Amino acid sequence: MSQPRREQGPLLRFTKMHGLGNDFMVVDAISQPFRLRPEMIRDLADRHFGVGFDQLLVVEPPGLPDVDFRYRIFNADGSEVEQCGNGARCFARFVRDQRLTNKRVIRVQTAKGVIELKVNRDGSVRVNMGVPELNPPAIPFAAEQRKPVHTVEVDGQEVELTAVSMGNPHGVLVVADVDQAPVVTLGPRLERHPRFPARANIGFLQVLDQSHARLRVFERGSGETLACGSGACAAVVAGQLRGLLGQRVEVELRGGRLLIEWQGDGAPVMMEGPATTVFEGQLRLPAETSGRRRRPARAQRQRS
């Protein structure tokens, strides 16, 4: 008996990109309609039944004067978030490659505010990630006062961490060796710890010297990623507050290196690094999503 023909939804064009292996599905929602539903994002994020990504980036027209674009960021679990460092660099390359702008300095509005990006001639991107937020209620982190190091109880053990927001919340632990760090066991426990009421990205920082560090990050809503740009910024802030790192640090993540600069209290954190396009594709969205797990039509790849 032939299968009933499922009414098909619209075709969606997208670009697959990554920043040091932290990977993204990027959608131009200016020149094509794109209605978002959390369950659809989770399906698209699936690395077997969908496109597969750590975050979905959706490019929209600006909502503020003196801003070039707005872009929305969604984790693999469908949650919308305020900031994505690696995503910001890929966004900047995307809007230029798609001829949505010819500017090299781009101002973009996110859920948390406006950031400024500069696309260098070699294709790398320098991002002003804004001023780090250290006041607990604004992170948010449950604590009586702002301190460089807080002690958090997890499963009967005491863990020391620095709480900082780069627009999104981070908890940073200092470890002797990132390769031996309990990222996949302690990471999820801290990501959802009650003292982080909005959950948090958990960084495991190994300091090599004042200007070199290694980092692994268990990301809120996506799990451990190969790199986390806002996490690298949070880690350098934490390292400086603890007197372990200088103002210009090369941070080595599993997927590669970022340059992070912070002049201290009140100054913005600057991040510089690569952005890579892997392929362009299109897929047919389901006509509707009934809330059950549906397998979006298999994504088609066109190597760019």
Enumerate binding residues for ligand API (CB under 6 A).
22, 54-55, 75, 81, 84-87, 168, 201, 219-222, 225, 228-231
Name which of 28 and 191 has its Cβ closer to ligand API: 191
Q: Report the nearest approach of ligand API to the CB of residue 297 (Å).
A: 27
Q: Report the nearest approach of ligand API to the CB of residue 37 (Å).
A: 19
Q: Which of 228, 237, 241, 249 is catalytic?
A: 228
Residue 91 sits at φ, ψ, to 5 deg, of -55, -45
Name which of 45 and 106 has its Cβ closer to ligand API: 45
**Tokens 């560090």, residue located:** 213
Pair of tokens at residue 303: 């190597």
84 a catalytic residue? yes
C-alpha pair distances (Å), 158 with each of 140, 147, 154 = 20, 16, 6
256 is in an annotated binding site: no
220 is in an annotated binding site: yes
* Nearest-10 crossing angle of helices 229-241, 85-97: 140
168 is in an annotated binding site: yes
Residue 193 sits at φ, ψ, to 5 deg, of -65, 140
Name which of 72 and 284 has its Cβ closer to ligand API: 72
Q: Report the nearest approach of ligand API to the CB of residue 11 (Å).
A: 27
Name which of 206 and 230 has its Cβ closer to ligand API: 230
Contacts from 32-36 at CB under 8 Å and sequence distance 24+?
A: 34/58, 36/72, 36/74
What's the sign of the alpha-carbon dihedral 126, 127, 133, 139?
negative
Percentages of the chain per state (helix, strand, coil), in multiples of 5:
15, 40, 45
Q: Report the nearest approach of ligand API to the CB of residue 22 (Å).
A: 5
Q: Report the nearest approach of ligand API to the CB of residue 87 (Å).
A: 6
Name which of 223 and 286 has its Cβ closer to ligand API: 223
- The 10 Å CB-count burial string (b at 16+, else e) for 143-180 is beebeeebebeeeeeebebbbbbbbbbbbbbbbeebee
Query: What is the four-CA torsion angle of 271, 257, 72, 49, rounded to 10 degrees?
Result: 180
Q: Which of 41, 84, 90, 258 is catalytic?
A: 84
Q: Report the nearest approach of ligand API to the CB of residue 258 (Å).
A: 9
The residue among 34, 167, 45, 35 whose CA lies nearest residue 108 is 167
22 is in an annotated binding site: yes
Q: What DSSP line would sit under 237-256, residue for residue?
A: HHHHHTT---SEEEEEETTE
120 is in an annotated binding site: no
Name which of 210 and 250 has its Cβ closer to ligand API: 250
135 is in an annotated binding site: no
**Tokens 């794109």, residue located:** 34
102 is in an annotated binding site: no
Residues marked as catalytic? 84, 228
What residues form the annotated binding site?
Answer: 22, 55, 75, 85-86, 168, 201, 219-220, 229-230
What residues form the annotated binding site for substrate?
Answer: 22, 55, 75, 85-86, 168, 201, 219-220, 229-230
